[in-house]
């Protein structure tokens, strides 16, 4: 193996993937994400970055996922796509490499690219004689295959050994990365195949619900995305243990992905996907995945047919309380401390409910922030209100569970359940299918229907809005994104508005995945939450210097 960069092969392939001169790329909250037909050079370069990252980590396998998750896929050339890198334990790319990825993606020419790469090799002390191993996958977007071809050219340029995991969900790709890197060790995460993943989840689920009355069938809105394929697979492994009714499974219909369906639609519009209107019956549970199946939102219709949403906050409350109870029954309260991590989007009522029972921490939006904060607890439960989340069991906690000698049958059952939960939960990243099974386990143990789960606490009415602005980077935040530091003076105007609403709370932050600024507001009454959101959005619009002619009417 050569110990120098393969300059000629990088150059000649890079010339086939030129960077558009007028664009600036940024590795953000969810990797690179923008209009698909501008991403060719980015994908090629991500192939190179993945290979270098693997070499830097002694040849450990790095993951690459091509997806734009919940973003729309209009049937036009303006559909979004994206790509993100996964580090060896299945977690998001280390922050310092996000900066390298951004610099590499913006080198204007092939020669400039070589220069940036050379400098990275030096500063990051990369031993180029090490092997490079990568595993990659994509979601169902039509733009995926061409982008994957560019990515493969990046691997080829570096001589990396790359395994194609095909079309699969983001969480399955994360699972693969961890499974490959722990293979044959005492920390083996599971077999590095889809079969291994589905077996692991379904076996754990079956153990956890053994002896319980089977749950009524569950309607699953697959967002017309890759979750439909994984859901179909999972159904087969679950057999009679849980009946899944998969809806919105049109993975090949142009423009159908995330369109009026999926977790983001349900969370943002607070409505049932119209496609489920004649399917979901009063009293029945349903849930929505997003386009790459890493988010989950539940819902139900009450007796009067009124829609109720059970979002990431409600999931956190349900599962955290269940884990705390198991730890207590097991007699491990003193050794295993459970904590919860949320973001500013968490409903104020959920934070109050959780904080009365557990330590709760608020961090900035973005899985990496939540994941790292959750790692500080023995058992860290993290969920974003948008339905992205998971539970992390620290290695010492897993060891404690393995070594513990229960003294009663009840203790022993509780420990067995906790061990099964460590198998059921995809601890690498939020996983809609794994989370869905976890929720079903808790509902089954507690004999809760949707309404009983919902009654754990009452959500404060809230509203999300987004505002298109000429430059979202002009918006800078502090205090876990709860306050703006720029544009100058805007936060005090928001404070003045918020003070006029009973139970009012609102914040503004630039999105990391879309070219917009997001606005969140909550208040004691629904009409007030809506009004506050619209008024704050109006302030944002004015402050950002948007064209008055395009000022949205409802903001006036």
Number of residues that bind ligand G16 (CB under 6 A): 18
Nearer to ligand G16, 158 or 220 (CB): 220
Residues between 436 and 455 with contacts to ligand G16, criterion CB under 6 A: none
As to burial, measured by CB atoms within 10 angstroms (0-12 exposed, 13-18 middle, 19+ buried), residue 210 is exposed
Query: x-or-dash pattern for ligand G16, window 317-356, by CB under 6 A?
Result: ----------------------------------------
Using CB under 6 A, which of the segments 36-44, 158-166, 265-273, 289-297 binds ligand G16? 289-297
Q: Cβ of 149: how many Cβ atoms within 10 Å?
A: 13
Q: What's the DSSP call for residue 193?
A: S
210 labelled binding-site residue: no
Which of 512, 515, 542, 551 binds ligand G16 (CB under 6 A)? It is 512
512 labelled binding-site residue: yes
Under the binding rule (CB under 6 A), the answer on residue 80 touching ligand G16 is no
Instruction: Say if residues 215 and 440 touch (Cβ distance below 8 Å).
Output: yes
385 labelled binding-site residue: yes
Instruction: Say if residues 398 and 422 touch (Cβ distance below 8 Å).
Output: yes
Longest C-alpha distance within the chain, in Å? 72
Nearest distance, CB of residue 84 and ligand G16, angstroms: 8
**Dihedral pair phi/psi, residue 29, rounded to 5°:** -45, -40
Residues between 360 and 389 with contacts to ligand G16, criterion CB under 6 A: 365-367, 384, 386, 388
Q: Which residues contact 461 (CB under 8 A, 6 or more apart)?
A: 522, 523, 524, 525, 526, 528, 529, 530
Under the binding rule (CB under 6 A), the answer on residue 30 touching ligand G16 is yes
Under the binding rule (CB under 6 A), the answer on residue 513 touching ligand G16 is yes
DSSP 44-78: HHHHHHHHHHHHHTTT--EEEEE--TTS---SSTT
Does 69 qualify as catalytic in the annotation? yes
Among residues 53, 159, 38, 140, the alpha carbon closest in space to that of 98 is found at: 53
Alpha helix stretches (DSSP H) within 109-187: 110-123, 144-158, 170-182
Under the binding rule (CB under 6 A), the answer on residue 40 touching ligand G16 is no
Which of 70, 100, 138, 361 binds ligand G16 (CB under 6 A)? It is 70
157 labelled binding-site residue: no
Which of 69, 251, 426, 477 binds ligand G16 (CB under 6 A)? It is 69
Nearest distance, CB of residue 427 and ligand G16, angstroms: 16
Nearest distance, CB of residue 185 and ligand G16, angstroms: 28
Which of 91, 290, 454, 531 binds ligand G16 (CB under 6 A)? It is 290
Nearest distance, CB of residue 81 and ligand G16, angstroms: 12
Integer CA distances (angstroms), 274 to 8, 227, 259, 521, in order: 54, 19, 10, 25
In the chain, helix, strand, coil percent, each to 5? 45, 20, 40
Under the binding rule (CB under 6 A), the answer on residue 514 touching ligand G16 is yes
473 labelled binding-site residue: no
Using CB under 6 A, which of the segments 105-113, 322-330, 389-397, 506-514 binds ligand G16? 506-514
168 labelled binding-site residue: no
Using CB under 6 A, which of the segments 54-62, 116-124, 194-202, 287-295 binds ligand G16? 287-295
Q: Are strands 296-301 and 285-289 parallel, antiparallel or unpaired?
A: antiparallel
Among residues 382, 299, 375, 301, the alpha carbon closest in space to that of 346 is found at: 382
294 labelled binding-site residue: yes
Nearest distance, CB of residue 388 and ligand G16, angstroms: 5
Report cis status (omega within 30 of 0) of the bond before 30.
Answer: no
Q: Cβ of 473: how many Cβ atoms within 10 Å?
A: 9
Nearest distance, CB of residue 25 and ligand G16, angstroms: 16
Catalytic residue among 14, 41, 54, 69: 69
Under the binding rule (CB under 6 A), the answer on residue 518 touching ligand G16 is yes
DSSP 493-509: HHHHHHTTSTT-EEEEE
**Separation of alpha carbons 360 and 377, rounded Å:** 11
Using CB under 6 A, which of the segments 209-217, 235-243, 278-286, 505-513 binds ligand G16? 505-513
296-301: strand order across its sheet: 244-247, 218-221, 285-289, 296-301, 307-310
Under the binding rule (CB under 6 A), the answer on residue 143 touching ligand G16 is no
Give contact residues for ligand G16 (rule: CB under 6 A): 29-30, 69-70, 290, 294-295, 365-367, 384, 386, 388, 511-514, 518
Residues carrying an active site annotation:
69
Please enumerate, by residue number, every residue annotated as part of a binding site for Mg(2+).
69, 290, 292, 294
Q: Which residues are annotated as a binding site?
A: 69, 290, 292, 294, 384-386, 509-513, 518
């Amino acid at each position: 193996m050569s110990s120098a960069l393969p300059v000629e092969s990088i150059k000649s392939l890079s010339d086939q993937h030129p960077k558009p001169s007028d664009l600036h790329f940024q590795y953000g909250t969810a990797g690179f994400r923008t209009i698909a037909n501008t991403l060719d050079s980015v994908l090629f370069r991500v192939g190179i970055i993945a290979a270098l990252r693997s070499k830097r980590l002694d040849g450990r396998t790095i993951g690459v996922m091509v997806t734009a998750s919940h973003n729309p896929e209009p049937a036009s050339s303006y559909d979004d796509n994206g790509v993100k890198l996964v580090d060896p334990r299945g977690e998001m790319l280390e922050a310092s490499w996000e900066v390298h990825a951004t610099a590499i993606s913006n080198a204007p020419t092939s020669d400039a690219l070589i220069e940036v790469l050379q400098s990275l090799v030096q500063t990051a002390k990369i031993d180029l004689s090490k092997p490079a191993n990568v595993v990659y996958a994509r979601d169902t977007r039509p733009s995926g295959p061409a982008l994957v071809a560019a990515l493969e050219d990046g691997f080829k340029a570096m001589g990396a050994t790359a395994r194609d995991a095909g079309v699969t969900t983001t969480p399955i790709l994360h699972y693969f990365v961890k499974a490959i890197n722990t293979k044959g060790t005492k920390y083996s995460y599971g077999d590095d195949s889809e079969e291994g993943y589905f077996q692991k989840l379904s076996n754990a689920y079956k153990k956890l619900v053994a002896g319980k009355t089977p749950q009524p069938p569950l309607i699953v809105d697959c967002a017309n995305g890759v979750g439909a394929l994984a859901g179909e697979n999972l159904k087969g492994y679950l057999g009679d243990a849980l009946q899944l009714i998969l809806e919105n499974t049109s993975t090949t219909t142009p423009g159908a992905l995330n369109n009026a369906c999926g977790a983001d639609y349900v969370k943002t519009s607070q409505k049932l996907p119209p496609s489920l209107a004649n399917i979901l019956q009063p009293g029945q549970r349903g849930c929505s995945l997003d386009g790459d199946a890493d988010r989950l939102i539940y819902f139900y219709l009450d007796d009067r047919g009124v829609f109720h949403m059970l979002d990431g906050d409600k999931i956190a409350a349900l599962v955290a309380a269940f884990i705390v109870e198991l730890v207590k029954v097991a007699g491990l309260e003193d050794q295993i401390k459970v904590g919860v991590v949320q973001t500013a989007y968490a409903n104020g009522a959920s934070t109050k409910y959780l904080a009365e029972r557990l330590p709760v921490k608020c961090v900035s939006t973005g899985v990496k922030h939540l994941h790292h904060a959750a790692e500080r607890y023995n058992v860290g439960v993290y969920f974003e209100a948008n339905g992205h989340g998971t539970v992390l069991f620290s290695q010492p906690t897993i060891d404690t569970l393995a070594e513990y000698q229960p003294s009663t049958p009840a203790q022993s059952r509780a420990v067995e359940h906790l061990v099964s939960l460590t198998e059921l939960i995809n601890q690498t990243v939020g996983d809609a299918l794994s989370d869905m099974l976890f929720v079903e386990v808790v509902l089954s143990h507690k004999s809760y229907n949707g309404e009983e789960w919902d009654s754990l606490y009452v959500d404060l009415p809230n509203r999300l809005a987004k505002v298109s602005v000429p430059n979202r980077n002009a918006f800078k935040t502090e205090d876990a994104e709860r306050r703006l530091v720029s544009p100058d003076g805007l936060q005090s105007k928001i404070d003045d508005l918020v003070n006029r609403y009973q139970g009012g709370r609102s914040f503004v932050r630039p999105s990391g995945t879309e070219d917009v600024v997001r606005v969140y507001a909550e208040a004691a009454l629904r009409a007030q939450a809506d009004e506050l959101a619209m008024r704050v959005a109006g302030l944002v619009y004015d402050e950002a210097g948007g064209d008055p002619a395009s000022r949205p009417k409802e903001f006036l």
